[in-house]
Amino acid sequence: MKNSMDRIIRRMADPTLRRRMVRKLLKRFPLGSFDTRLEVGAFERPWYAWCLYHAALEAKALGHAAITAIELGVAGGNGLVQLCEIQDQVQAETGIRIFTQGLDGGTGLPETSDARDLLYCWPAGSFPMDYVKLTQRLRGRADIVIGDVAQTAKQLSIRADAPLGAVLFDLDFFTSTRDAFALLEHPNVLPRVWCYFDDIVGTPDGVFSDYTGVRAAIRQFNANKSEREAHLSQAYVFRNHYPEEWHQLIYVYHRMTHPDYNRRLSHQKLVLDLT
């Protein structure tokens, strides 16, 4: 009884209740434009939709016909399956083909002794994969790459005609995330790669900090880069949106040495109001 009453109280106090009802309706009946549905979060994982859509728009503006999207940390595969469903919608909306891959160790989180890996949250072996079952669910819409991310991220094959445009990080550990950043060093990437980090905001039991877990990996990555070369930064792009927790989890990798980094993405002329 107490738990039921707690749920009722939380729902009554939830300022986003009406928004959630609208989202539920739009998921079932996709009315309105893709932009508007994305703005109100009418997707199972709007953070995945955001990264894929804006990577596709960037690629289109630069003259590409396709991009690569990667999920890191597949586990049971719900995220990768939903990524494929979003992929289909973004392809239909933008005309940009998306080649999706999922990287995972296959047997759950690896063994580690690094205190920055937050073992008090996720012990080794957590989140294993049923490879056969997952491949059946994917129905050929994504490739799964099994192995130590320290190796697979360095050796990953990306099609020459489909630069890396979006990376969805869900590796939990500092060490795994640090090693996965080798993907961002690949020569075939968009000038700006949209990234999502699942584990940089959490509950009190996680006690995430800038010196542990994913945040520590991002901090170290940036410390090893010149400010005029490349960096990972939170994306400050949600000025006209209702505040959502996932907005904090969207980052962009800027490769400022990319030959297309300074190319304009918009054909609209800038008009200054001098009155």
CB–CB of 146/106 below 8 Å? yes
Q: Supply φ then ψ for residue 199, to 5 degrees.
A: -120, 55
Q: Supply φ then ψ for residue 86, to 5 degrees.
A: -65, -40
- What letter would DSSP give residue 198? T
pLDDT at 19: 67
pLDDT at 195: 98
pLDDT at 13: 60
Neighbours of 1 (CB within 10 A): 5
Neighbours of 147 (CB within 10 A): 14
The predicted model gives 72-89 an average pLDDT of 93
From CA 52, how far away is CA 45, in angstroms rounded? Answer: 11
What is the DSSP code string of 88-118? HHHHHHH--EEEEEEEE-SSSSPP---GGG-
- pLDDT score of 50 more than 50: yes
State the pLDDT confidence band at 12, using cuts at 50, 70 and 90. low
- pLDDT score of 22 more than 90: no
The predicted model gives 187-213 an average pLDDT of 93
Residue type at 103? Answer: L
pLDDT at 275: 46
Q: Strand runs (DSSP E) across 198-273, as ranges?
A: 230-234, 250-255
pLDDT at 17: 63
State the pLDDT confidence band at 10, using cuts at 50, 70 and 90. low
Which strands sit side by side in the sheet containing 97-104, from one edge to the other? 142-146, 97-104, 66-72, 164-169, 189-197, 250-255, 230-234
pLDDT at 91: 96
From CA 174, how far away is CA 214, in angstroms rounded? Answer: 5
What is the average pLDDT value for the chain, to the nearest integer?
89
Structure confidence by residue, pLDDT tens digits, 31-44: 788 888 888 788 88
- pLDDT score of 173 more than 90: yes
Domains in the chain, ordered, with CATH? Answer: 1-31 (no CATH), 34-255 (3.40.50.150)
- pLDDT score of 216 more than 90: yes
CA nearest neighbour of 221 among 229, 118, 71: 229
pLDDT at 219: 96
Report the share of the chain in percent with pLDDT over 70.
91
pLDDT at 44: 85
pLDDT at 148: 94
pLDDT at 122: 86
- pLDDT score of 29 more than 80: no
- pLDDT score of 270 more than 50: no
- pLDDT score of 96 more than 50: yes
From CA 252, how far away is CA 195, in angstroms rounded? Answer: 6
